[in-house]
């Protein structure tokens, strides 16, 4: 067992809300340690009250079977959208969710690429997303908030 193998296995664990996005690309994996054949994984929740934490923990344990594994959620550093990988941002777009902006500016529609968009509701289906409307293709879409 190698650290690279563990990371590769963790890349197969999908986010429960956006299944084409792995917890690695989401930036949830804080630390991986192998100690005498035992794997320890520290995860950062995207928000403290996430109802899917137990599910994610189970999926990590399944992905790392047959290795003895301890999965722990850590709160020493809060998760931010800056932890999203470039691949994670691409995966969000593929799913139809605009990735968070790194700087102020218009939100680009993930459906048609237009920047002629406006905020429809600051409250989306989860705490980290908002609903926007594209004036070009006339479709609503979700955008991940910068946290």
C-beta neighbour count of 75 within 10 angstroms: 9
* pLDDT value of position 39: 97
Q: Are 6 and 34 in contact (CB under 8 A)?
A: yes
* pLDDT value of position 128: 83
* pLDDT value of position 126: 80
Query: pLDDT category, 49, cuts 50, 70, 90?
Result: confident
Query: pLDDT category, 56, cuts 50, 70, 90?
Result: very high
- ∠ CA 20-127-109 to the nearest 5 degrees? 55
Can you list the domains of the chain with their CATH numbers? 3-82 (3.30.300.130), 96-144 (no CATH)
Residue 144 has pLDDT above 80, yes or no: yes
pLDDT digits (tens, 9 = 90+) for 98-140: 999 877 889 999 999 999 999 999 988 887 889 999 999 999 9
pLDDT digits (tens, 9 = 90+) for 64-102: 998 999 999 999 989 999 999 999 999 999 999 999 987
* pLDDT value of position 47: 84
90-93 — which CB contacts under 8 Å span 24+ positions?
91/18, 91/20, 91/21, 91/22, 91/25, 92/18, 92/21, 92/144
């Amino acid at each position: 067992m190698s650290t690279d193998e563990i990371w590769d296995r963790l890349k197969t664990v999908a986010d429960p809300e956006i299944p084409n996005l792995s917890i690695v690309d989401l930036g949830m994996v804080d630390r991986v340690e192998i100690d005498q054949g035992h794997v320890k994984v520290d995860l950062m929740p995207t928000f403290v009250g996430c109802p899917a934490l137990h599910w994610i923990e189970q999926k990590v344990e399944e992905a790392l079977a047959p290795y003895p594994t301890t999965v722990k959620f850590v709160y020493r550093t809060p998760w931010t959208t800056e932890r999203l990988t470039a691949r994670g941002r691409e995966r969000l777009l593929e799913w139809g969710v605009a990735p968070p902006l790194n700087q102020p500016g218009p939100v680009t529609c993930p459906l048609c690429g237009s920047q002629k968009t406006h905020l429809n509701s600051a409250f989306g289906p989860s705490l980290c997303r908002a609903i926007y409307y594209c004036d070009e293709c006339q479709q609503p879409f979700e955008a991940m908030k910068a946290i």
